[in-house]
Amino acid sequence: MTSRRFGSTELLMQAARAGQSRINCGLRALLVAFVGLALLVAGILVGTVSAAAENGVGASTPAVANTVGSSSDIGAGQRPGKSLPLPGIVVATGVAAEGAEAAAGGARQVTVLGRYTGGVDAYVGKPGFNTLNLPKSGTGRWNWTRNKRFIDDAIDRGDEIRLVTNPNEPLYQGGNTFQRELRYLQDRGYTWQEQGDYWNAVPR
């Protein structure tokens, strides 16, 4: 009888020890998991603080100023130095601006007006010179509406308007196209000035 009691007691003690061992193992696993979570949170915080420090978040930072070349070429809000180009921003140069002007309304050139024979015909096809050279018949033939638009376009572009026939010489009584061009220029507020062997139409 006594031997049985001792056996039962021993079994209970072994069960108790086994349960305690399982509890200890569970606590150790929980502690390891907690430490791992704490390290993960600490790593995230350190990374956030570092990024904030690099970006100057929360710190007093100077105003951003564009940096360009020499100090003589800069304006307000800029300082000399070098800067990396920002994506999506195109810096317009004089050449680009001229290209945009040419695309918008045509590049500025010299528009030639005067009697065709012995005057305008000498400039037809020459680079930089704009002449009206339309057929007298057929599709696209000359008419005063096209002629007037030719002058309007030259004025809108800011062309130099060169008169290669003397505008001060008497014209024959019946009139001609050049005479109409001169009257139209006067209606648009222009007069002319002699420049050697030609005349420039200039605003009054």
Separation of alpha carbons 178 and 173, rounded Å: 13
pLDDT of residue 39: 75
Report the predicted TM-score, pTM, of the whole model to 2 decimal places.
0.48
85 domain-assigned: no
**Domain range enclosing 45:** 2-59
* Percent of the chain at pLDDT exceeding 70: 54
193 has pLDDT over 50 = yes
**Cβ-based neighbours of 58, under 8 Å, separated by 6 or more:** 52
Q: Tell me whether residue 165 is in a domain.
A: yes
The total domain count for the chain is 2
- pLDDT for 99: 38
Q: 34 lies in a domain?
A: yes
Residues 171 and 177: beta-carbon distance below 8 Å: no
* In a shared domain, residues 46 and 104: no
* Tens digits of residue pLDDT in 130-139: 999 999 899 9
Tell me: pLDDT of 119 over 90: yes
In the listed set 38, 59, 80, which residue is the last one of a domain according to the structure? 59
pLDDT attached to residue 85 = 40
pLDDT digit string (tens) for 78-110? 444 444 343 332 333 233 333 334 434 567 899
Q: Are 108 and 182 part of one and the same domain?
A: yes
Q: Which of 118, 121, 188, 196 is nearest to 159 (CA)?
A: 188
What's the pLDDT at 37? 79
Shared domain check, 198 and 115: yes
Residues 33 and 118 in one domain: no
Residue 132 confidence (pLDDT): 96
